[in-house]
Structure 1
Amino acid sequence: MRVLLCPDKFAGTLSAPEVAAAVAAGWRTVTDGDDLLIRPLADGGPGFVEVLADALGGRRLPVTTVDPLGRPAAGEILLTADGVAYLESAQACGLHLLSAAERDPKTTTSYGLGLLVAAAVESGARTVVVGLGGSGTNDAGAGMLAALGVTALDASGAALPYGGAALAAVDALDGAPRLRDVRLVAATDVDNPLLGLHGASNVFGPQKGADRADVLLLDAALERFASVLERDLTGCPAGLGTLPGGGAAGGIGAALLALGGGIESGIGLVTRATGLDAALDTADLVVTGEGSFDHQSLRGKVVAGVAGAARDRGVPCVVLAGQVSTGRREAASAGVTDAYSLVEHFGGEENGGLDAALDRPAEGLRELGARLARQWSR
């Protein structure tokens, strides 16, 4: 039997390669006669560089950057032989870099991402692909732009403080982006615009610590910033606040669009790099997964892409997740044959299953891998 293991990361616990390895180890405790094809995936968020490095090779260059509060952070870029540099916003802007008490999208900044982009430009890359996802910022990429040479000013000509809230006072821009004619690409599967009910502030702000008043303040601040970008930044497209993908990573998508960049599907890019389509064509069973299988999973994330591709080929697809909150009917319509939760595997939330899932995810995945082998292996 040919089994394709192609999970995303379990955010905060295991990387995608670690998830796949744990499931494979459990499967092999039951039978070693099956052919396990391991293709870890990412959609632009945390793990994007690691997955692509495994698939494409190239050089991984360490870069010193800063986190959303300006503290030192370790980042890296992947530079391939064809002159493409890959990096991920989460290494500098990630929500996982902040404690619960530190989460405040009014003040967090994407400046560290600008340092990563600048390093990629200076490395000689002709194209820079920025994986977007998992961010703890909501500043429409203003911090990133500042690191690249474009500073937001208030009416008195003073540089604004970092963070999304300060953009309510933006009046003009100073400087020009130092990009050496590099082509920019935003890798994301989020189609939300920058502004409005489906925009960055309304949809993702609460996950980053924003209350309702914060959301309204941030959406208005980003609307003002978008209008200034359209007026003052050469090449910025009209209607920036409404463009699909502009709301990705707290509006960093919009900043990349304003710099003349394009948007590409993160999961599509990773699918091509890892040869996932060819693996799907020969698979008898597909096993994918992520930390939380919920309503957002079916909106362009890894699980949705994998399940849909498996369904189109008539191949069963099983989802393993830390928690499962998607209904069976909704999941089935997306191509998911069955879904298993680590929390339920460890006895349910009322019996300490959540703590066990967070503390012992690899153990749980090995046990679920063995369970799947008993159910599915020929």
Structure 2
Amino acid sequence: MRASILRCTCLFLIATLLAACAGKDEKADEAETAMSALPVSLATARLQPMARTVLVSGPVTAYEEMQLGVEISGQRVTALPVDVGQWVKKGQVLLQLDHRTLDSELAQADASLRQAQAAQDLARMNYERSAKLAAQQLISASSLDELRANRINAEAQTATARAARDAARLRRDFADLRAPADGLVSKRLVQPGQVVSAGTELLRLIRDGRLEWRAELPENQLADVAVDNTVELPYAGQVVAGRIRAVTPGVDAQTRTGTIYADLPTPGPLKPGIYVEGRIVTGDGQALTIPTAAIVQRDGHNYVFTVNDKQQASRLRVRTGQAVQGRTAILEGLKAGDNVVVEGAGFLGEGDRVRVIAPAKAGDAKAAAR
């Protein structure tokens, strides 16, 4: 009897020890699993005020680029006092042609005009004297008519000589190419010594140095844009501000796009020909936003991770909008109040176990894990 009691007691102690060891193993496994889970922090998707914008790319161009040339042919360039990038004033000489022949023609025209004026003065004085004599009936009426005709003929010859002199002076002025307005020399297509012809482009001038930004918008976005909308062009670490000056009234039948023109009062580092993405602010509104760090790009798509009740990560594909001050608008894939992984999101995969901790601790733990 005593042996039976002793045997039962030993069996009970053995079972107790085995249960205790099993419990310790389970707790150790749970602790090991918890330690192997990636520490992450969560953030909540929330609605916040955000300006409605349209993102589109386009080139920076000159508002008005004038193509300059001369109006006479066969003359050689003798002086070219300007170069590309130089600011010029209205009326400033940009190019000079060889004008020796033109000077000679102008001098000859001046001499012809003075000769005609002398003949006109003589004819006028002869007529005036004859008119006095005719009043006293000392000369015939036919003689007076002839003198009157000589005076009129001399006046016509003077007018002809004056017109020829003006034409010669104009041709002489054509030998000096002057700036039609204030502006910036953007291109030079001629060299000193070159013989040029009329109508050939020799220089280009950006009127007043004024630049604009042009962009092609699809018809669904063009309807949201209006004149005076603000434009923001980030470039070279700066944000250049502009304002829409004009919007095409229709769309192209082939491309189904329309063009917007934005003035750039202070272009800063922007230069003609630069292709830059701009943000057109079309109005105020609200958007569902999450921290930009929560968005993971894989396979050309944007994803976020959420955490389920089993502390496992679930991947969701989202469609994003604009990003402002570290937060990105979510257009599809989430709703307000959803929690997404922020710190540690880039290391996660579908179904990975995670451990949610405070943001600062998550950063420290992630750095330690790396």
Please give the range of the TM-score, normalised by the shorter of the 2 chains. under 0.3
* TM-score when normalising by structure 2: 0.22
* TM-score when normalising by structure 1: 0.21
Which of 1 and 2 has greater Rg?
Answer: 2
Give the structure with the higher percent helix.
Answer: 1
